[in-house]
């Protein structure tokens, strides 16, 4: 029997386990459709705020030697009300809407905008490393995490995911608080706070000074976090961070993830990369005689 790429993240059912991560190509319904037809199991939007945000002035992104990127785009987005109007015609693509805010009321107000849209899940961005008063500043405050997750869960029947990252506090406490507050799944991890300095002008390169490191340099960190979360908590996990090949995807499944997200990896071949990774996963499953994704999830934790 042919192996199946179908996977479940709690209540979320996907035909394929490879998704588009938030922040990449995330504001066009036409692009969402192309990605879905090219093999993405779901697409996660750019993080949306109540009002449109312009983001930071250039320079906002630079490449890192050996692979990877540091970016400080500043969560630029058209605002939740405008974005909801854009995706309202969608009937086919599994869309996970990423939301960012600083108080529970922000999230409640944004969710109301999507009442007439087909939304597969909401992903709460509790981990952006380079925008003040949102992201990691929220994720580092357990009481605020509790209030936000509780408010969102009371506002919708759609599954809710918390995206966590590495801030100043123990990220596992953030995960535990989100779970205790009713979260349905965890995405781990976001970009890692980083910076670069120009030796000639002797100044930070990014206009914001600090940015988020993504791509291959953070894969071992993200993999470790998925392993730690799955070892401590019984919660569906989406792996994210430095994944660019089918081998990377398998590692995250074995560490405890039921699905994965791609970000930096789609920069060079965003039309083919989902198909290539899906194909590699299927070939691996055939070779190992697995019939579905869930049979691999967490196997690396065997004693």
- How does pLDDT run across 99-142, given as a tens digit for each residue? 999 899 999 999 999 999 999 999 999 977 666 667 677 778 88
Provide the domain count of the chain.
1
Whether the predicted pLDDT of 303 surpasses 70: no
Low-confidence winner among 34-38, 66-70, 80-84, 181-185 (lowest mean pLDDT): 66-70
C-alpha distance from residue 214 to each of 45, 91, 109, 162 (Å): 17, 31, 30, 18
Domain membership of residue 107 as a residue range: 7-301
Please tell me whether 147 is known to bind a ligand: no
Summarize pLDDT for 255-295 with one digit per residue, the tens. 999 999 998 888 767 779 999 999 999 999 999 999 999 99
In a domain, 1, yes or no: no
The alpha-helical segments, DSSP class H, found in the chain are 29-37, 80-87, 104-113, 136-139, 142-155, 171-180, 219-232, 246-255, 266-269, 273-288
Q: Side-chain half-sphere of 258: how many Cα atoms within 13 Å?
A: 19
Domain CATH number, residue 41 = 3.20.20.70
Report if residue 2 sits inside a domain. Answer: no
- The answer to whether residue 224 sits within a structural domain is yes
- 38 is annotated as contributing to ligand binding: no
Q: Is residue 113 part of a domain?
A: yes
What is the dihedral sign for C-alpha 124, 129, 131, 133? positive
Helix H or strand E segment including 193: strand 192-195
pLDDT for position 71: 87
pLDDT at 302 over 90: no
Determine whether the annotation assigns residue 242 to a binding site.
Answer: yes
79 alpha carbon, distance to own chain's centre: 19
Residue 172 domain-assigned?
yes
Residue 202 included in any domain: yes
Rounded CA separation 264/268 (Å): 9
Q: How far apart are CA 56 and CA 188, in angstroms?
A: 25
Ligand-binding annotation for 67, yes or no, is no
Q: How far from 43 is each of 13, 15, 37, 107, 248, CA to CA, in Å?
A: 13, 12, 11, 20, 19
Show which residues are catalytic. 128
pLDDT tens-place string over residues 236-245: 999 999 999 9
Please give the mean pLDDT across all residues of the chain.
93
pTM for the whole structure? 0.95
């Amino acid at each position: 029997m042919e192996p199946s790429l179908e996977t479940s993240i709690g209540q979320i059912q996907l035909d394929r386990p490879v998704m588009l991560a938030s922040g990449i190509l995330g504001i066009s319904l036409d692009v969402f459709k192309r990605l879905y037809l090219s093999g993405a199991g779901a697409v996660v939007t750019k993080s949306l705020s109540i009002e449109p945000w312009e983001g930071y002035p250039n320079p906002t992104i630079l490449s890192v030697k050996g692979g990877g990127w540091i970016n400080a785009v500043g969560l630029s987005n058209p605002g939740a009300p405008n974005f909801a109007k854009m995706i309202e015609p969608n009937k086919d693509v599994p869309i996970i809407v990423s939301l960012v805010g600083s108080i529970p009321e922000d999230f409640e107000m944004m969710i109301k905008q999507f009442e007439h849209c087909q939304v597969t899940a909401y992903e709460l961005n509790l981990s952006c490393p380079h925008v003040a008063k949102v992201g990691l500043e929220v994720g580092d405050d357990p009481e605020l995490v509790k209030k936000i997750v509780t408010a969102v869960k009371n506002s919708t029947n759609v599954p809710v995911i918390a995206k966590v990252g590495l801030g100043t506090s123990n990220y596992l406490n953030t995960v535990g608080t989100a779970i205790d507050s009713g979260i349905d799944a965890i995405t781990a991890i976001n970009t890692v706070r980083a910076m670069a300095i120009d030796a000639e002008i002797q100044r930070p390169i990014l206009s914001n000074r600090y940015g988020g490191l993504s791509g291959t340099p953070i894969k071992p960190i993200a993999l470790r976090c998925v392993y730690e979360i799955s070892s401590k908590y019984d919660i569906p996990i989406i792996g994210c961070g430095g994944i660019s090949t089918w081998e990377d995807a398998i590692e995250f499944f074995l560490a405890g993830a039921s699905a994965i997200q791609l970000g930096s990896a789609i920069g060079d071949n965003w039309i083919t990369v989902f198909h290539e990774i899906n194909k590699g996963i299927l070939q691996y499953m055939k070779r190992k005689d697995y019939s579905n994704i869930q049979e691999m999830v967490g196997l690396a934790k065997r004693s």
